[in-house]
Every structure is written in C-alpha cells, then in structure tokens.
Structure 1
Amino acid sequence: MQSIMVPKGICDSIKEMARQLIWGASEGKQKIALVWWDTICQPRSCGGLGIRCVSDQNKAFMMKLGYNIATKTDTLWVRVLRAKYGINESLSECIMWSRSSFVWKSIVKYNLYREKI
C-alpha cells in the first residue's frame, strides 16, 4: 500500500471488512450501524475512533513518495528512479512515458505539479 496504488474495489472491500468488524457482524449477518461511518473516521479528539480511509491513506503514501523523489536526491532509490525515467527538469514531463512501471504511474498520479525537481 505504501508503494503502489490500491485499486478502488480493494479499498472498498477493506472498508467493508472494517465496518463489519466494528459493528460485530458475523457469518454474513449485518448489524445496525449506530453511528455514521464518517463519524467513526474522525480523529479521537473530534469524537471519532481515528480510523483512516484506506484510499486517502494510500494517496498520502503516494504523495510522500513523490515528495521524496523531489527532495531527497541523494538516496539510492531516488537516484535509481531519476536515472531510469530521466528526471532532469520536472516530474510532469516524465508522466506520459509509455513504458513506465505500475509503481511509477502510481507515484506520478498524485504528484502532478509543475515545479522543478
């Protein structure tokens, strides 16, 4: 989840499993939800349980990878990616590269900015 984009269907399945766990559903028998799911996903300081949305968390991980590519040019994995995809100017010029990997496509999907790297 920290290195590739998780498909929406899988995120929805994980969310459904979490809901069943919290509400105490068993063997396909669902129970009545006593609180809105959006309320449960709020921070504890706001009255929620602090559960994070899987898709939002995944997007945050992808943005973190993009930020690291832009700022931590001395680490080995960043140098490898920069060399492989020819990142010299900006990230947006490398997005349409036809033979890019799934990991690269996941990273650039949420890091579409025009600043120089």
Structure 2
Amino acid sequence: MEGLHMDLKRAEESNLIKGAFVGSSNYPISHLFYADDALLLSECNEVYMSNLLSILHSFFFYLALGLKINVAKSCVYGVGMSDDELLYVSNRIGCGKGVMPFEYLGLQVGSNMNLVNNWKPLIEQTVLNELEKIRMTFFWGRSDNIKKITCVKWDNVLACFEKGGLAIESLKAFNLALICKWIWHFSTSNGGIWVHVIRAIHGSHGGLDNRGCHVLGIWQNMIKLFSSAQEKGWLIQNPIRSKVHC
C-alpha cells in the first residue's frame, strides 16, 4: 500500500487529483488506508476520476506489486450529489453505487456518531458495568450455581493500598486513562494525519485552549472528560507526563 500512497500523493501535488478538504484550514485528504482496504476521496470531476483510475491500474501498482484492484467489488459514495449524478459516476468507473450511511468495521459511516445508538453495534453502553460484574463474580468465586455473600464493597476492592483496597485496576479509570492518552498524543505529536484533521477542525490547539472545540463531536467529549479529570485533580498538570491516579 506504500506504493499506492506515494502515487496518490504525487498526483495530488501535481493537481492531477483533488481530495476532500477538512476544517477551516482546508486540510486535504485524498486517501485513507486500513489493512488492505482503501478509501479514496475525490471531487466529483471526470478528469480527476480518470486520473484516479489510471493510478489504480498503473504499471507500478499492478505489474510491479502483483496487485489488482477489483473495481467491480468497490463502491462509490456521494456527498451532496443527486442519485443521477452518483449513478453516472458509478457507471463511469464500473463499480457499484453505494448509499450513505454504510457499515464499515461494525460502525455506520455517515451517521451522527454523537448518538449512542450508532455505537451500539461495536460496544454496548453498559459494557463497563458488565465487565466489572464478570470480574466481581470471578473474584468472589461465584457462578450460576454457586451464590456467595459479598463481604466488601467492590469499590473498596478497586481502591489503592493506601486507601485500604487491593489496588485492582478500575476499568472505568483505565478507560479514562486511554482517553487522556489520546490528548497526550495530540499534545506531543509532531504530525500524523489525525492530528492535522483535529487541528483543521478545532484549531491549532485542538480545543485545549480557552476557546475550546469549534465543532460538536467525539473529540469535544474527550476534551470534556480530560478537563473534568484535571479539575478533580486526577491528572498531573504536565500533559507530557499525565497519568490517572487511583
């Protein structure tokens, strides 16, 4: 996929193709890769489409790497396009006409991801409680056939040694730590497409300054959790060495 990436970047720099633009700074994105899947973004222009197809069937990508794009199994999706326009493009490329939203890796792409229902196919809302219940059942030696009395509150078991607990890691705290780790990565990263996208949408500080996030969404919710953890004194203030305390 590295060869395809280089071909697409050169074509974009030469204005042979034009991808999508994100945020007020118009950060360009022409392609995204995940494993052996490729998501190609392009302006609805016949010249760009022809150039894009030429790249996919190029000598380097097909003969040198031995890879071949199965266009018939691919789909084209349109944003702000009529059904007739989308049908024309799909016929021009020779692939199927997709409908938004569509499912990828268990999630609905094109849906409002601020709604809990759109995350349920990937993870249930009560997953942390269910996982804690499984751990608690195992810890107390219970089963479907064996019932035992709970001697100590589970919150006390999860507490630090200094607070009289057994320092069993809280899944809720661990999840918060992982969320805050993304903030840490953003603060210390020198680049990366996801960092550029966050900055294009929420400003150069990514919503960590006094202005906050510019757009409602998942990143805004992560910033709120991070700020709440800081206000409660759960985080060391230096973002480079942040960690969650018990």
TM-score in same-fold range (> 0.5): yes
Map 1:81-100 onto structure 2 (within 5 A): 81-83=198-200, 85-89=201-205, 91=207, 93=211, 95-98=213-216, 100=217
Map 1:1-117 onto structure 2 (within 5 A): 9-27=126-144, 29-44=146-161, 47-72=164-189, 74-76=190-192, 77-83=194-200, 85-89=201-205, 91=207, 93=211, 95-98=213-216, 100=217, 102=218, 104-112=219-227
Structure with a larger share of its residues in helix: 1
Number of matched residues? 104
**Structure 1 88/37 Cα, relative in aligned 2: closer, same or farther at 3 Å?**
same
Q: Distance in 2 between matches of 1:9 and 1:67?
A: 26
**Structure 1 27/96 Cα, relative in aligned 2: closer, same or farther at 3 Å?**
farther
**Structure 1 16/36 Cα, relative in aligned 2: closer, same or farther at 3 Å?**
same
Q: Distance in 2 between matches of 1:42 and 1:89?
A: 35
Q: Distance in 1 between matches of 2:215 and 2:124?
A: 21
Larger Rg: 2
Structure with a larger share of its residues in strand: 2
Query: Which 5+ residue runs of structure 2 have no aligned equivalent?
Result: 1-122, 231-246
Structure with the larger RCO, 1 or 2 (CA within 8 Å, 6+ apart): 1
Q: CA RMSD in A?
A: 3.2
How high is the TM-score relative to the length of structure 2? 0.35
How far 1:90 moved relative to its partner?
5.1
Whether the aligned pair in 2 keeps the contact of 1:62 and 1:106 (CA below 8 Å) is: no
Whether the aligned pair in 2 keeps the contact of 1:8 and 1:55 (CA below 8 Å) is: no
Equivalent residue, structure 1, for 2:95: none
How high is the TM-score relative to the length of structure 1? 0.64
Whether the aligned pair in 1 keeps the contact of 2:202 and 2:215 (CA below 8 Å) is: no
Query: Which 5+ residue runs of structure 1 have no aligned equivalent?
Result: 1-5
